[in-house]
Structure 1
Amino acid sequence: MSAFDGLKGKASVLRTKATDFIGQHQGQIQGGLTKAGDFADRKTGGKYAGRIDSVRRKASGFVEDVDRSNTSTGQPGSGTAQTDPSARPGTPPNSPPDPTTDPKGRPDGTSGPPRG
């Protein structure tokens, strides 16, 4: 048995613990993501609102995906994907980024911070 076999076993245990934790605390994690996004948006004066929202949506989607995979494999977890109350009304979860606010989807085809 090599040292890497021992590390693989430990990594597997840590992964299981992390996914169980996410499944058991999904609502708290989603709330924390929303609060962190709101805080960053306030501190930057809304300058990076599109980027902040994009990151929050991706992180939220990751948490939901982990919870769904826990449910499908019989692992502990709530099994219910919670919708984010701060999401834009009428926007389906994991929808493509809004080109008017997402910096990588700017109408002029460029990326990066807004010019101005």
Structure 2
Amino acid sequence: MGLLDNMKARLGPAKEKVSDLAQRHGGSIGQGLDRAAKVVDEKTKGKYREKIHAGTDKAKEAVDRLAHQGDGPGHGVGSDPARGGEPGTPPRTPPPPTS
């Protein structure tokens, strides 16, 4: 067994735990990301609004991918239609900007 195989074997349980936590608390995580984005946007007086929202969207997508790991075909990495994922699934719409 090589080093990479050994690392994968040791990280397996942690990966499952993270996926489970993302499934159970994904909504709360998303709300926290939105609140943090709003605070940062207010502190920077809207100067970096687009970058903040882009980063927030990417973080939410990462949580979503983690939550759907191991759900079977069509979930997890590569399931986002905007990135060549499952056909027939409507693309996500970004949240409206907050003032």
- TM-score class normalised by the smaller sequence: 0.5 to 0.7
1:65 shift after superposition: 2.6
Which residue of structure 2 aligns with residue 60 of structure 1? 60
Larger Cα-atom Rg = 1
Q: Which consecutive unaligned segments of at least 5 residues does structure 2 have?
A: 73-90, 95-99
Change (3 A) 1:16 1:58: same
| Equivalent residues, number | 76
The runs of at least 4 consecutive aligned structure 1 residues that moved more than 3 Å come to 1-7
1:93 aligns with 2:97: no
Which residue of structure 1 aligns with residue 11 of structure 2? 11
User: SS where residue 8 of structure 2 aligns?
Assistant: helix
1:4 shift after superposition: 5.6
Give, as a single letter, the amino acid of the residue that structure 1 aligns with 2:53: D
Give, as a single letter, the amino acid of the residue that structure 1 aligns with 2:43: K
In structure 1, C-alpha distance between the alignment counterparts of 2:43 and 2:56, rounded to whole Å: 16
Give, as a single letter, the amino acid of the residue that structure 1 aligns with 2:48: Y
Give, as a single letter, the amino acid of the residue that structure 2 aligns with 1:41: D
The answer to whether the 8 Å contact 1:57/1:94 transfers is no
User: SS where residue 25 of structure 1 aligns?
Assistant: helix
User: SS where residue 60 of structure 2 aligns?
Assistant: helix
In structure 1, C-alpha distance between the alignment counterparts of 2:4 and 2:49, rounded to whole Å: 43
1:33 aligns with 2:33: yes
- Taking structure 1 as the reference length, what is the TM-score of the superposition? 0.54
More displaced stretch, 11-20 vs 47-56? 11-20
The answer to whether the 8 Å contact 1:61/1:94 transfers is no
- Taking structure 2 as the reference length, what is the TM-score of the superposition? 0.63
Q: Which consecutive unaligned segments of at least 5 residues does structure 1 have?
A: 74-91, 96-116
Percent of pairs with identical residues: 29
